[in-house]
Amino acid sequence: MPTALIIEQLLNGLQLGVMLFLMAAGLTLIFGVMGLINLAHGSLYMVGAFACAAVAAWTGSFWLGLVASLAAAAAAGAIVEVTVIRRLYDRDHLDQVLATFALILVFSEGTRWLFGSFPLYLDIPPALTGAVALPGGVFYPVYRLAIILVGLAVAVGLWLLISRTRLGMRIRAGESDREMIGALGVDIRTLYTVVFALGAALAGLAGALVGALQSVQVGMGEPVLILAFVVIVIGGIGSIKGAFLGALLVGVVDTMGRIFLPQLLAALLGPAPAASLGGALSSMLIYIVMAGILAFRPRGLFAAGA
Amino acid sequence: MTRERLLTFALLAALLALPFAAQALGYPFYTTLATRMAILALAATGLNIALGLGGLVSFGHAAFFGIGGYAAGIVATHAMNAQPLLGLDIPASMPLVWLLAALSAGLVAAITGAISLRTSGVYFIMITLAFAQMIFYFAISWKAYGGEDGLSIALRNGFPGMNTAVPRDLFMIAFALLLAGLLIFWRVRVSRFGAALHAARQNELRVAAIGIEPFPIRLVAFVVSAMITAVAGAMFAELNRFASPSMLAWPMSGELIVLIILGGTGRLAGPVAGAMLYVMLEYWLGSITERWQFFLGLTLLGVVLFARGGIVGLVAGKARHG
């Protein structure tokens, strides 16, 4: 098997992985700090993508679009937190699932109302077009490399934020004992809004970055949301480290599985049965990995507080 | 008679009257709506055993709903083309479809449940979702049975003494199944088994301490729940004459949960009330605006934020534990 193909697919897997990390980090923070399951996180991803595409089309600048995506997603997150999510923190998970499911309907249909049913297209910024030669004779798109770098930079930044700043200290304190930090005089309502908006901004960034690779359309967030849930469950809900490693694992396993599993099966079983089985198995692969991990580690790999 | 029981009878009577009223008023299409209500209510009644009584928030019941749907589609296809299924010549008969649907869903639920029930809380929600996604991806890549296009049912499976092509006959079958499902739910709730299931939900440790192991009880509840939902799925495919992969997709799982919470979690009449309101909202909002999902979402938000306990909770007050 050519090394170039393997390297290329490994990078594709990494790129998917860091994208998933941007989504999963917000989800896992929101769950860890507020104990909330947010199904509407995929909608914030979509909001980011639409904001970026609309502003980029209007101003002609991808970079302004990127700023807009962060701002729009964070604002949407803050508004939703203040109006709806805030009332759900002391409810059980069932109510949270229903309310955020309802939010998905509102966001999706609202976006369709504003932008119509046709997908929008977002161009890769001119500075990042083209491909670079990597060692091993691989030509890889610059934009995808940039996404990997942005994702890694966000991971480092998030780690610094959580472990080195006052806000991070409060977030960690909120994870371990929310009543105590309230008693110590921290304004917990504002803290929750900030955490939610931060998670939303990360989702919006992910949506904007991916928007230039795929089309920007209603419903784009939900498949990613499901993958992000797989990621945080594998990593252990509430753990940023778990989300990072889980995201890379899911990204790489999914990408590599889709390319190499059918080939492997073809070598073992012959081409005809492999063609039908390979497709099914490779789409199921990450769910099989997740079920396997949960069967042996019921709280994920890096469960917070475990 | 308690208010809850009164409400249950009133809802069922209204549902039963709907097709006849529709016929008399000249809106035969409403018969199909009533059938849809009955089928969705049955599916949610199945889920209500796991979710309402057992506190097992399964976010993967679409899998069982879809398995039922594909059972109907596969039997109808084989019977139509006169192909044997697993070496047997099979008649296009609904009871056989229900049996197949319940058995296959029960088997899948026993396997996935045994793994999923090792986890709890959010992890349980997510692992049931993961299993459902596996089955969804399996179905859309299974080319022999339609793959992504789903499986059309050219001719509905038959039922002895009924003409299933007639909307009202199909409704009566669905309604009878709903009654049977409600009876099972009620029997489970008042039985010793139901008491243990309910107790395990409230305090797992105490139940274990008095010598009842929660795991097998939950597993049985999960399997029974899946079987009922699968029979509903079979009827849903018969109604639409189409076993669609979207029956297996995760929004369907969400929809079933919505029906239960809308109606009242763990209440006998909850799924019936929820399904009736949901289908009515869907139809009514759909007829006044094409943005009906937007308003449906707002309505659901209103219910979850301000009407805790759903419709049944609103009308009949809190559940009484006797």
Give yes or no for A283 touching B (CB within 8 A): yes
ipTM over 0.90: no
**CA-based nearest residue in chain A for residue B293:** A105
Q: Which string of b and e fits A214-226 if b means at least 16 CB within 10 Å?
A: eebbbebbbebbb
Chain A residues within 8 A of B249 when measuring between CB atoms: none
Q: Are the CB atoms for A28 and A161 separated by under 8 Å?
A: no
Amino acid at A222: E
Convert A176-222 into a string of H (helix), E (strand) and C (coil): HCHHHHHHCCCCHHHHHHHHHHHHHHHHHHHHHHHHCCCCECCCCHH
**Chain B, nearest residue to A94 by Cα:** B57
Residue B164 lies in a domain: yes
Least confident range of A87-91, A119-123, A278-282, B176-180: A278-282
Give the start-to-end residue ranges of the domains of chain A.
12-124+138-296
**A121: nearest Cα among A23, A202, A220:** A220
| CATH for the stretch A12-124+138-296 | 1.10.3470
**CB contact set of A5 (below 8 Å; sequence gap of 6+):** A259
**pLDDT given for residue B322 in this prediction:** 42
pLDDT in tens, B36-76: 999 999 999 999 999 999 999 999 999 999 999 999 999 99
B82-99 pLDDT per residue, tens: 777 777 777 888 999 999
Of B119, B130, B291, the CB nearest to A230: B130
Name the H helices within B147-249.
167-190, 192-202, 204-209, 214-240
Q: Is pLDDT larger for residue B319 or for residue A57?
A: A57
Return the closest-CA partner of residue B197 out of B182, B181, B219, B180.
Answer: B219
- At residue B285 the predicted structure's pLDDT band, cuts being 50, 70 and 90, is confident
What stretches of B82-166 show up as alpha helix (H) in DSSP? 94-116, 122-140
Kindly determine whether residue B294 and residue A105, on different chains, have CB atoms separated by under 8 Å: yes
Please answer yes or no on whether A97 and B115 come within 8 Å at the CB atom: no
Contacting residues for A196 by C-beta, under 8 A, at least 6 apart: A30, A34, A77, A78, A80, A81, A85
Q: What mean pLDDT, rounded, does chain A reach?
A: 86
pLDDT band at A306, cuts 50/70/90? very low
A87 reaches B (C-beta below 8 A): yes
Residue type, B50: A
Averaged pLDDT score across all residues of chain B: 89
Report the percentage of chain A scoring pLDDT > 90.
32
Could you tell me which residue, A123 or B11, shows the higher pLDDT? B11
By the 10 Å C-beta count (0-12 exposed, 13-18 middle, 19+ buried), B320 is classed as exposed
Cα dist from A130 to A121, A126, A145, A149, whole Å:
18, 9, 11, 16
With respect to residue B321, please indicate whether it lies within any of the assigned structural domains. Answer: no
Domains in chain B, number: 1
Q: Give the residue-averaged pLDDT of B307-318.
A: 79
Q: CA-to-CA distance for A235 and A243, rounded, in angstroms?
A: 5
Residue A304's pLDDT is: 56
| Tokens (6 digits) for B15 | 């549902």
pLDDT in tens, A27-75: 988 888 888 888 899 999 999 999 999 999 889 888 999 999 999 999 9
Q: Does A153 touch chain B (CB under 8 A)?
A: no
Interface test with B, best of A31, A97, A234, A301 (most B CBs within 10 A): A97
Contact status of A276 with chain B (Cβ, < 8 Å): yes
- Placement of tokens 């990613």 in the chain: A224
Do the bridges between strand A131-134 and strand B151-152 make them parallel or antiparallel, or are there none, so unpaired? unpaired
Neighbours of B95 (CB within 10 A): 12
The answer to whether B293 contacts A98, with C-beta atoms less than 8 Å apart, is no
Cβ separation of A294 and B127 shorter than 8 Å? Answer: yes
Q: Does A285 touch chain B (CB under 8 A)?
A: no
CATH classification at residue B275: 1.10.3470
Asked if residues A154 and A202 have their Cβ atoms less than 8 Å apart, the reply is yes
A40 touches chain B (CB under 8 A): no
Give the rounded percent of residues in chain B with a pLDDT score beyond 70: 98
The rounded distance, in Å, linking the Cα atoms of A67 and A52 is 8
Handedness of CA B259, B293, A80, A250 (dihedral sign): positive
CA distance A56 to A65: 5
| Domain enclosing residue B306, as ranges | 3-316
**CA closest to A105 among chain B residues:** B297
What is the per-residue pLDDT across A239-273, written as a single tens digit (0 to 9) for each?
888 899 999 999 999 998 888 888 888 877 777 66
CA distances from B87 to A122, A304, B47 (A): 54, 52, 33
Residues of A in contact with B310 (CB under 8 A): none
Torsion angle defined by CA atoms of residues A233, A236, A237 and A238, in that order, rounded to the nearest 10 degrees: -150
- Cβ-Cβ pairs closer than 8 A, A with B, add up to 126
Cβ density class B109-138: b for 16+ within 10 Å, e for less: beebbebbbbbbebbbbbbbbbbbbbbbbb
Distance from CA of B160 to the nearest CA of A (A): 38
Residue for token pair 């199944």: B177
Question: pLDDT of B244-274, one tens digit each?
Answer: 999 999 889 989 998 998 888 888 888 999 9
Which tokens hold the place of A259?
């390319």
Residue of chain B nearest A92, judged by CA positions: B121
